[in-house]
Amino acid sequence: MMKTTQDNNERPFSERRRQQFLTEEFAVYELAHCKKMAEAFELQMVADDTDEEGASLLTASMADNSFEWLSLSYTAGNPIEPLRGDLEVVAAAYERYAQSLRTYENEPRFPAFGFQEIADFERLAQLLGLCYLLHRRDLIPRLHALIAESAYDGEDAVYEELVGHVLPDRPYLENWYHKQPYLHLLNATDKTEPADKTSELIAYCEAWYPAMADAPWHDGHKRIQGTEGDYFGYWAFEAGAIALLYDIDDRAIDHLVYPKDLVAWARANKHLSEEPSDVIPHGRCEAGQPCPRSGFWFTPAQAGSRRFFKVGEVMPSVDGDYGATIWQWDRNQDEPQL
């Protein structure tokens, strides 16, 4: 019998967490800290003294913070379904970063990710992988727009594999920016024997973490000290996406970085890929615009601003010294406690 969300939440943290490095103390603190950082970043963004360079750096941190929250939430053993909405929040944060970066560089197609840097390339691969695993293929064109018509567009076989199942007329390539670990991922799509496909995915998982040695988050689990640290999980989400897309038998894959339960969830919920995604909330809404989804929102421009809005309701401005009022979707949709 499948356990309910309530049952899962009642299990000890050591059984719920999806990677053994994560401590409950650090997870609880860091999830709350990421939310506080999002509010602080928003306040800084609307400050009058934020110049174009500062805005590009700040929105980069905001985007990374939103991804780290999502990844940490998954690592901590939280339910999968809410991550579908969180992924759109992440995509919107990287769109905001791209806009700020392009304004600063005065180049409308300046890429938000640099493929030559494996940490950048992998972050985009992870996001695309999550689009398939969470049945949010509608976000793939938005993510592609972050590098479209740049020097990287149409130049990497791995990237084309990850977007080509959604975007039409993508090129077939045999060149890449990073041979390791990604050649194993491509091989998994090319092999004809099912066992060989599985073997290539296993090889990919084994090569993945060593290949990320230059990423700033590498070995983050070793830096956890109480509530301090920079670990949010090590996940080859793109490997799970390839297993899903090519129906690869993953029963023999038992590797730390492979999101096995997320793949199983994706397979059990294929109907979600055929349903409209308008039930998923946008992450932010400016004052004067209609509310994109009913639920609890807050604005960093005013303390204690959290309140419930109905879809279509015009989001109000609040008095303050922070310029335009930006409302943010509250990840916590619980009713307030009396």
pLDDT of residue 275: 58
Give 146-162 pLDDT, tens digit per residue.
999 999 999 999 999 99
| Domain definitions of the chain by residue range | 5-269, 282-338
pLDDT of residue 299: 81
Beta bridge partners of 297: 307, 329
- Count other Cβ atoms within 10 Å, centred on residue 70: 25
Write out residues in the chain with pLDDT < 50, as ranges: 1-7, 276, 278-281, 321-322
b/e sequence 135-173, b meaning 16+ C-beta within 10 Å: bbebbbebbbebbeebebbebbbbbbbbbbebeeebeeb
What stretch of H or E contains 329? strand 326-329
pLDDT of residue 205: 98
Q: Is the pTM of this model over 0.85?
A: no
Which numeric CATH code is attached to 5-269?
A: 1.10.3920.10
pLDDT of residue 4: 39
Give 98-110 pLDDT, tens digit per residue.
999 999 999 999 9
pLDDT of residue 48: 59
CB 218 within 8 A of CB 257: no
